[in-house]
Amino acid sequence: MTAPITQDLLTIPRKLPEAALKNIVGLTRDELRDALIEAGTPEKQAKMRVGQIWQWVYHWGVRDFAQMTNLAKDYRAFLAERFEISLPEIVTRQVSADGTRKYLLRIAGGHEVETVYIPEESRGTLCISSQVGCTLTCSFCHTGTQKLVRNLTAGEIVGQVMVARDDLGEWPKQGEPKDETRLVSNVVLMGMGEPLYNFENVRNAMKVVMDGEGISLSRRRITLSTSGIVPEIAKTAEEIGCLLAVSFHATTDEVRDKLVPVNKKWNIETLLNALREYPRLSNSERITFEYVMLDGVNDSDADARRLVKLIRGIPAKINLIPFNEWPGVAYKRSSWERIEAFADIVHKAGYASPIRTPRGEDIMAACGQLKSATERGRKSRAEIAAETGA
């Protein structure tokens, strides 16, 4: 039940390069204020300057200090000499037959991450990454076959949201009527990496995204997905307060140890004990349990009955995810009949059990398929099959 691991064989610096100018994107209000004062802005003016710059960058989407017309010309020049407004660079942009967009983004140091935009009738969801690669090696996840390179900065996390808004033309235009339509209406931290292993940068990025004078996404429009990093769960509730999703995927420790190896550190009982407190601490309505449907592994009626017994007492919904295959993986998607039978048991126990429609499979943008193109050592399906005897 283990997938072959193909590591990133390309040697790229793991540390962030020194930048000549300080990037404003991703700084919290307090950090921006401190940076402006350190650069020479009078302390009495700093709070006002933060508010002005913040609105230009995060409400209007402006990237050039020269366009910040309510600032004096000499102050605009002062800012341009010391700061920059820098976003990740789009390397490739793919559009699926179903409208899903996948961006391969290059960040500092030449590393690459993937971001996915999923349009639906009533909302548009942006799936963003928090790390280059991942440490968790979940055996069904394509990202897990790429070793961790580094954490993303808060600016690189916020930058993914801004890049998507650029591509969708979502920034408001001065002098035009306000358009209340939100193309990026929801953000999910479900891309590459484990967000809770990069807690501080994720928290600061979400402070920027949630700020009411900028991008202004409600905390109830943001979902953080974790594999179960128990010590950070209460902090997430208290310091971010967003919705929580848990990559659960199994109903026994024996199976979860193989699917989600972090379970060996914090097992199902320990994880569920932490989750029982989350709705109260974060004032959230419920927790989402993500459950990928793997043929013959975790999809039996007995698994469904164990699942509802385990989560009893936790306000929850169960997202059933048909497994999205990728080259060389050792698992198969459960049959549609099996998934529906599983969903029926969960539903009859009183839990919402939506079956997630796979999106963007034709461009490898579906759940569990993200993987940086930086990994030049990727092997073909035939090479992996030859090595593993599959």
Residues with catalytic roles: 114, 367
Q: CA Rg, the chain, in Å?
A: 22
Cβ within 8 Å of residue 266, ≥6 positions away: 228, 229, 230, 274
127 labelled binding-site residue: no
Closest CA to 275 of 326, 224, 324: 224
Check whether 248 is labelled as a binding-site residue.
Answer: yes
Q: Which two tokens stand for residue 287?
A: 């927790």
The answer on whether 199 is annotated among ligand-binding residues is no
Distance between CA 45 and CA 47 in Å, rounded? Answer: 6
Question: Any binding-site annotation on 249?
Answer: yes
**How far is C-alpha 262 from the geometric centre of its chain's CA atoms?**
18
Q: CB under 8 Å to 75, separation ≥6 — which residues?
A: 49
Among 65, 154, 145, CA closest to 107: 154
First to last CA, the chain: 12
Instruction: Find the DSSP H helices in 252-298.
Output: 253-259, 268-275, 278-282
242 in a labelled binding site:
no
CB atoms within 10 A of CB 348: 11
Closest CA relative to residue 207, chosen from 156, 154, 245: 154
- DSSP letters, 149-185, are -EEPPHHHHHHHHHHHHHHHT-S--TTSPPP---SS-
198 among annotated binding-site residues = no
194 marked ligand binding residue:
yes
Q: What does the alpha-carbon distance between residue 209 and residue 242 come to, in Å, rounded to a whole number?
A: 12
Tell whether residue 124 is among the known ligand binding residues.
no
Inter-axis angle of helices 230-239 and 268-275, nearest 10: 10
Q: Which residues contact 231 (CB under 8 A, 6 or more apart)?
A: none
If residue 78 lies in a helix (H) or strand (E), which one and from where to where?
A: helix 73-82
Which residue positions form the known binding site for S-adenosyl-L-methionine? 193-194, 225, 247-249, 324
Which residue positions form the known binding site for [4Fe-4S] cluster? 134, 138, 141
